[in-house]
Structure 1
């Protein structure tokens, strides 16, 4: 009996080893350098009226002990308090590469200048892929109004500008300890994984159909490193955290057009693609930490201090946020100076 069990165990181990060996690795990023990554440099506030500007400065993105740190800081640390109200800085000096919405100039306008300085890194120029398994081991930041994201974005807008060509969110987590919406926790004990796609950024946006989340109860995703995994193939996608499934999306035979219910809105923009269109093209990896904006809904509760701005008043949202700095800024370093940093241990991509 013992010999039989030992023989069976050897066979099982051999099968597992064979399976692992057959997984061709396309990317193995252990962060001994940043040579695979390009910084996004811009003051553009994206579609969600975010509060940060992105820079390549070393205080916001750096490598330590084989880990990537993306850490938001205060704009006043660099330029001083007066700058927020009447300053102006040409981000072309920092290598601005996203001019949309006046993104190459950091300045006070109707509102104060972007009060937070952060970083966004992408592999667009160095690495893209279609289908495979993306695996990232990371620790999420802790602190009110922080929004880290690890995602896949289209290398070319084959089907048109966002959201026509899609977006794949592997993981995002709000940094707040106690943020609830309609009685449900939406803070750092909940991770989200989502596909964004649609015809336009309004009623014809289909994010809600492909939104997945996983709650950890009283356990925070900011407390330790977790392994986030996306399995992406020509038939669908599955999202995991620490080998626990978050959700699975498999489009019908009519593809995402059939799933969408947009049939009465005109031409199918994905008609020339596969059933996975728009998620059947080359995508690159993006890692960033955003702050504030419409990423945090109104009519939600935050303890002990309420949300200091209102999404319906975007002209004054950043000044409203900044005026309450004494409430939210201490939450960024409750136990460590690196609480507010997104820490990434490795990024791996295996072929489909």
Structure 2
């Protein structure tokens, strides 16, 4: 089944377009940002500000500076720059009261925008229309984390990666067209490291190398379907995930509200261990551009979302 989906993804890649698909009658829009204001709407978004490196040896500090995230002509621009910055070495959600926060210095800056504390969802359809940067070491991502760690620390409470892409456009002998053009959709679950587990799919999608594309996830209690430009490229069911903290709950950990994250990481173990290997410091700044974000709920079955499953 999954191989067929991957083959289909490649088969329709030449005809796929980046136009916004019409809303299906069964889906109700419950949250959106069209980025049509002069500035980022701080009632909808917050910023992670740290030089943690995501526990992945990433090379950036995240800031809330307009240089790293801003609205331009109705589009959100998340921009990574080569510039040395010092900041907290521990992210805000891992800091302990009364414990001094160490600092670190990184050679790049970027932005990680979050809806944490402002909006979170349990089941629904998440869609983001975005244009992705290219180059060895680039790592744009659209993903979700639990609003509350109901089952414990990562990965007991789960992580949903709607879309990740690394090293887009670099030479790749095994890729259609000879350039890296794959997109990934992944779940993280299980226990705390080293007992964490993941399930993911990676498919070639050559159109991702130019223009905007709609990256999506249709999430119900029993099933998740990853899409690009409205077409499915991966499916996971509840039989494939679990939380060590809730062995009797077959839906855990993905039965809780999750908030949305948009970010552009610089380097890190995943991109630097793939593609050409290492990190290419040339051609900065790099830009991830987001046209809109839309969150839908299954109007007929908001409690589980099952009535809107494909």
Specify the SS of the correspondent of 1:134: strand
> For 1:10-89, what aligned pairs fall within 5 Å after superposition?
20-31=24-35, 32=37, 33-35=40-42, 36-76=44-84, 89=86
Q: For residues 163-218 of structure 1, give each alpha carbon's deviation from its aligned partner in whole angstroms, at most 9, with x where no partner exists.
A: 1100000001113422559x56897511001101121222x2221xx2012202xx
Contact 2:180 2:275 survives alignment (8 Å): no
Whole-angstrom distance in 2 between the partners of 1:248 and 1:272 = 23
Partner of 1:294: 269
Query: Is residue 2:292 matched to residue 1:346?
Result: yes
- Distance of aligned partners of 1:27 and 1:103 in 2 relative to their CA distance in 1, 3 Å threshold: farther
Question: Higher helix proportion, which one?
Answer: 1
Q: Given the two structures, how large is their TM-score scaled by the length of structure 1?
A: 0.69
Contact 1:173 1:188 survives alignment (8 Å): no
Specify the SS of the correspondent of 2:269: helix
Specify the SS of the correspondent of 1:212: strand
Whole-angstrom distance in 1 between the partners of 2:255 and 2:226 = 17
After superposition, the CA RMSD in angstroms is 2.9
- Distance of aligned partners of 1:230 and 1:114 in 2 relative to their CA distance in 1, 3 Å threshold: same
- Distance of aligned partners of 1:193 and 1:75 in 2 relative to their CA distance in 1, 3 Å threshold: same
Q: How many aligned positions are there?
A: 270
Partner of 1:256: 241
Greater gyration radius: 1
Gaps of 5+ in 2: 1-21, 299-310
> For 1:263-278, what aligned pairs fall within 5 Å after superposition?
268-271=244-247, 273=249, 275-278=250-253
Query: Is residue 2:203 matched to residue 1:189?
Result: no
- Distance of aligned partners of 1:21 and 1:251 in 2 relative to their CA distance in 1, 3 Å threshold: closer
- Distance of aligned partners of 1:164 and 1:143 in 2 relative to their CA distance in 1, 3 Å threshold: same
Whole-angstrom distance in 2 between the partners of 1:341 and 1:105 = 29
Whole-angstrom distance in 1 between the partners of 2:191 and 2:223 = 20
Contact 1:124 1:284 survives alignment (8 Å): yes
Specify the SS of the correspondent of 1:59: coil
Partner of 2:196: 205
Question: Higher strand proportion, which one?
Answer: 2
Specify the SS of the correspondent of 2:148: coil
Q: For residues 63-89 of structure 1, give each alpha carbon's deviation from its aligned partner in whole angstroms, at most 9, with x where no partner exists.
A: 11111111000124xx6xxxxxxxxx4
**Which of residues 175, 187, 193 is equivalent to 2:167?**
175
Gaps of 5+ in 1: 1-16, 80-88, 108-112, 261-267, 309-327, 334-339
Partner of 2:213: 226
